[in-house]
Amino acid sequence: MKPPEQLLIIIAALIFLGFGVWFIIKPTALAGIGIEATSPSARTDIRATYGGFELGVAAFLFWCAWREDWHHIGLIAATLFVAGFGVGRAAGVLAEGGATAFMWALLAIEVIYTAFALWRLSLLPAA
C-alpha cells in the first residue's frame, strides 16, 4: 500500500496531467468559462500556459512520487500548487462578486485538497 503522502502527490499529478493534455489538444476548451482563443497566437499561448506548464508540474510531481526520499518535497510542492490555484480562484470570486457552479466546485476541490495535504504535512517529521 502506498503511503498517503505519495497518493496525494499522485492525485495532484494526475489532475495536472489531465488538464495539461486537455489544453494542449483543445485550447478552445476555455471558451466554456468565457476565455476565447480567437487567434493562432492565443491558442498557442493557452497550449503553453495551461497545457505545457501543467504538464511540467505533473512531471515534477510524478518524479517526486516515484522517489520515496522526495515525498516530503513533492507533497509541499503539490500543496502549494493547488493552494495557489485556490487563492487565485477565491480572490477572483471575491473580486467579481460570485462565480459559476463550476468555479465553486473547483474551489471546493482546491480547499479540500489543500486542507488534507496540510494535515498530512503536519504529521511528517521536518525534512
- Calculate the average pLDDT of the chain: 94
pLDDT digits (tens, 9 = 90+) for 36-80: 889 999 999 999 999 999 999 999 999 999 999 999 999 999 999
> Grid coordinates representing 36?
476565447
Q: What is the pLDDT of residue 3?
A: 86
DSSP three-state, residue 111: helix
% of the chain surpassing 70 pLDDT = 98
Q: What is the pLDDT of residue 127?
A: 58
Q: 74 to each of 19, 91, 105, how far by Cα in Å?
A: 19, 26, 25
The answer to whether 33 touches 102, Cβ cutoff 8 Å, is: yes
Other Cβ atoms within 10 Å of 89 Cβ, number = 17
> Any residues with CB less than 8 A from the CB of 40 and at least 6 apart, and which?
none
Whole-model pTM: value is 0.89
Q: What is the pLDDT of residue 25?
A: 97
Residue for grid cell 495532484: 12
> Any residues with CB less than 8 A from the CB of 35 and at least 6 apart, and which?
46
Q: Distance (Å, rounded) from C-alpha 21 to C-alpha 38?
A: 20
What's the gap between Cα 63 and its chain centre?
Answer: 16
